Amino acid sequence: MPSTPGTSTGRRRHRVREEALAEILRTGRRLLVEEGPAAVTLRAIAREMNMTAPGLYRYYAAHRDLIQALTSSLYDELAATLAAARDRHPASEPGRQLGAACRELRRWALEHPQEFGLLFAKPLTDADTAPGAAAHDPSWRFGGILLELMVQLWRRGSIQPPTGLDPAWTVQLEEVREHLDGEPVPLEVIYVFVSCWARLYGAVAVEVFGHLDFALTDPGPLFDHTVRDILTTLGEPSPGS
Amino acid sequence: MPSTPGTSTGRRRHRVREEALAEILRTGRRLLVEEGPAAVTLRAIAREMNMTAPGLYRYYAAHRDLIQALTSSLYDELAATLAAARDRHPASEPGRQLGAACRELRRWALEHPQEFGLLFAKPLTDADTAPGAAAHDPSWRFGGILLELMVQLWRRGSIQPPTGLDPAWTVQLEEVREHLDGEPVPLEVIYVFVSCWARLYGAVAVEVFGHLDFALTDPGPLFDHTVRDILTTLGEPSPGS
DNA sequence: AGAGATTGCTAACGCCGTTAACTTTTGGGA
DNA sequence: TCCCAAAAGTTAACGGCGTTAGCAATCTCT
């Protein structure tokens, strides 16, 4: 067991350790960006840090854990980026805030395609993301920002909820609702949120993963149209910048 | 150089070789399905076939080529599956045909998530898919089916093309148009096609890649709604089965 | 100063893709 | 029918990978 951090020297050790952890992730990310996901290897990271691969096991129990920590930190960065974009608009205009966050998501994804791929192109990573998915899930820190904005939009907005909601959904939707603060959101509205998230994810992923390359060099206007559509669905009358 | 196929023996040799090629892909796919993409390895395939890894180099020049051949064959299977779904409806009702093809795409993706991931979760594979992308691109055999159906829909339908098309797009859109037979399709209509394809891809990918797990156990109705939306955009008044 | 935890190392194992050099099989022409 | 060249598959080996075991150094606290 490590000594409890608290004394001055103990604290310093702890900080050094955290700096090493940070340098590992920094190096791994650099390899990801410069040479692709296959290059993010224990031996390569150690080499770049003038270490040997087994030494890294003092910080991560396995290669998989290192990658997981990397994705988690990327989710944090993405969440912070989206929050910053959101805060460039007044809280009194959640529509503009959400629009800005959506566009920032696309901008970040295009600027960091490898990172986006690591986060969002995972068919069946493991069963680590159970259907319920705890609020501690790294992706939740990111997704929560969009969800909260949609809630704001609902509070002041004019979302017209769909009718005839499939009863099989209510159980899962209620679980999502529990993660939200404040007054309970109608399940129908949560359904609208999910549908909008699906559309936003698709609009970004189809572009970043190159599935529009065959047709378009600049899908920007197409994305803008999609965002306007989403905002309209959420009751925002006119598009925000 | 191999002997020119034509003699009886020559033809038989050729068929044996093609059977070996097929068995390699069959084995690779089985490994992909059963143990994930990382398990599709030359040595594992050879092991399963009672061979040694270097022997596979008689059939594929490198591991990358084998994977590429696998993805190409999967594109073919997907295209055939979509064509079959399309042909379950009369050609006089392209709306129903397209709806069936869309739903079949989702069905195939959910039934073969590993294969779908191999085909559609590739951020920056290589620059092999140039913006222009030849009609020989394996993905074109698949995408062409949806595109042709959209053209059919336009011929009889009531697509209202958008106005104010970004002039920067026309060059790329014209390239797509050249791949289509028959009378030239207006660029604005092609824009609608691309936008619908983006939405369809997103609706399938967001589900297969597990980015709706946090909320929904059965996103089927959500997907149906999206398909109806797409068909409406393409001028289909009422949803087909 | 000494005990114990922390941090890094070397050596080694089995897996991977890939190459080189070899044997074996096989098909077709003299 | 025999022979030979091409095809198909083998073993051996290289470097890189994740991972483990065991060992040395260093650092912290008493």
Residue A214, both tokens: 């065959």
> Is A241 among the domain residues?
no
Residue A131, both tokens: 């259907």
- Tens of pLDDT, residue by residue over A3-30, are 333 334 456 667 789 999 999 999 999 9
* Surface of A (45-104) touching B: CB under 8 A: none
CATH code of the domain covering residue B55:
1.10.10
CA distance A47 to chain B (A): 24
Judge if A138 and A224 occupy the same domain: yes
Q: What is the mean pLDDT of residues B109-131?
A: 76
Q: Of A239, A209, A109, nearest to B209 (Cα)?
A: A209
pLDDT score of B51 more than 60 = yes
A58 beta carbon to strand D: under 7 Å: no
Q: What is the mean pLDDT of residues B12-41?
A: 92
The total of structural domains in chain B comes to 2
Judge if A115 and A228 occupy the same domain: yes
> Is B171 among the domain residues?
yes
The pLDDT, as a whole number, for residue B73 is 97
CATH code of the domain covering residue A178:
1.10.357.10
The pLDDT, as a whole number, for residue B76 is 97
Q: Of B126, B167, B188, nearest to A210 (Cα)?
A: B126
**B214 Cβ under 8 Å from any chain A Cβ:** yes
Task: Mark the nucleotides of strand C covered by protein, meaning any atom under 7 Å from a CB.
Answer: 5-12, 15-21, 26-29
- Position A74: which residue type? L
Confidence class for position B7, pLDDT limits 50, 70, 90: very low
- Position B112: which residue type? H
Judge if B178 and B115 occupy the same domain: yes
Q: Which residue has the higher pLDDT, A105 or A170?
A: A105
Q: Give the number of residues written for chain A.
A: 241
Judge if B40 and B85 occupy the same domain: no
> Is B239 among the domain residues?
no
CA distance A180 to chain B (A): 13
Task: Mark the nucleotides of strand D covered by protein, meaning any atom under 7 Å from a CB.
Answer: 6-12, 16-22, 27-30
**A216 Cβ under 8 Å from any chain B Cβ:** yes
Q: Which domain holds residue A47?
A: 1-60
> Is B238 among the domain residues?
no
